[in-house]
Amino acid sequence: MLTLTCPLCGATVEETELAPGGEAHLKRFGPGSSDAEFESYMFNRKNPKGVHFERWRHAYGCGKWFLAARDTVTWEVFGTYPAQTTEPPADLVAKIKAKRPTWEGYK
């Protein structure tokens, strides 16, 4: 059962206090988008074995959504950060690259 530190209130909490929200940094496609774009937004997920960016809500705490970078195999947590961004912070990406040299990057 994993633990994450909520970047908004600073509490380190266990999984039972969190609600999972799937893959992070999805770009919403609304009216006017192609079928392929909409399908990709609604259904296609990376589901990687390794570095993953995901959404979590501190449901039993401050109620805020935040994002986490985590290794889906070892459960190492590289970092958490507020949800108000379209891509992971550069320093976090650099940290992950240093720890996982073969990682291809988040895109």
Partner 1 sequence: MSTRLAKGGRLIDRSQPLAFTFNGKPMRGFAGDTLAAALLGGGKSLLGRSFKYHRPRGLVASGAEEPNVLVGLGRNARFEPDQRATTTELFSGLEATSQNHWPSLEFDVGEVNNLLYKFFPAGFYYKTFMKPRWAWKHLFEPIVRQAAGLGEAPKEADVDRYEQAYAYCDVLVAGGGVAGLAAALKAGREGRRVILCEMTANWGGRAPVDGGTIEGLSPEEWVKTALQALEGMENVRIMDRTMVSGLLDHGYAIAYQRVADHTPGDGRPRHRLWRIRAGITQVATGAIERPLAFAGNDIPGVMLASAVRDYIVNWAVSPGDRVVIVTNNDDAYRTALAVLDAGLTVPAIVDARVQASGPLVQAVRARGVAVLEGRGVAKVLGRKAVKGVEICAQAGEGGAIQTVECDCVAMSGGWSPVVHLWSHSGGKLNWDETAAMFRPDATRPPTGPEGLALAAVVGAANGNLTLDAIAAEAGIAAEVEAEAPLEPVWTMPAGASDALKFKSFLDYQNDVKVSDVQLAAREGYESVEHTKRYTTLGMASDQGKLSNINGLAILSETLGQPIPATGTTTFRPPYTPISFGAIAGEARGEIFQPLRKTPMHGWHEARGVHWEPVGLWRRPYTYPKAGESHREAVNREIVNTRTNVGLLDASTLGKILVKGPDAGKFLDMMYTNMMSTLPVGKCRYGLMCSDNGFLMDDGVVVRLSEDSWLCHTTSGGADRIHGHMEDWLQCEWWDWKVYTANLTEQYAQVAVVGPKARKLLENLGGMDVSKEALPFMTYKEGTLGGFPARVFRISFSGELSYEIAVPANMGLAFWEALNAAGEELGVMPYGTEALHVMRAEKGFIMIGDETDGTVIPQDLGLGWAISKKKADYLGKRAQERKAMVDPDRWLLVGLETLDGSVLPDGVYAPAEGHNANGQRNTQGRVTSTYYSPMLNKGIAMGLVKHGPARMGEVIDFLGDKGAVIKARIVDPVFYDKEGAKADV
Partner 2 sequence: MSEMILSALQGESHEGFVTVTEAGVTGMITIRADLGSAALAAALGGLGLSVPSPRGITQAGDKLLAWMSPDELLLACDYGAAPGIAESLSAALSGEHALVVVVSDARARFTISGPKADEVLMKIAPVDVATLPAGRMHRTRAAQVAAAVWRSGPDEISLVCFRSVAGYVMGLLEVSARKGGEIF
Q: Which residues bind partner 2 (CB under 8 A)?
A: 8-11, 13-14, 16-17, 59-64
Nearer Cβ to partner 2, position 22 or 63? 63
The CB-of-97 to partner 2 minimum distance in angstroms stands at 29
Q: Which does residue 17 bind out of partner 1, partner 2, none, counting CB within 5 to 8 angstroms by kind? A: partner 2
Count the neighbouring beta carbons within 10 Å of the beta carbon of residue 11. 12
The CB-of-98 to partner 1 minimum distance in angstroms stands at 11
Nearer Cβ to partner 1, position 30 or 105? 30
Round to whole Å and give the CA distance between 53 and 32: 27
Which of 51, 48, 49 lies closest to 70, judged by CA?
A: 51
Paired tokens of 8: 């908004």
Nearer Cβ to partner 2, position 64 or 97? 64
**What is the widest separation between alpha-carbon atoms in the chain?**
42
Paired tokens of 85: 């961004």
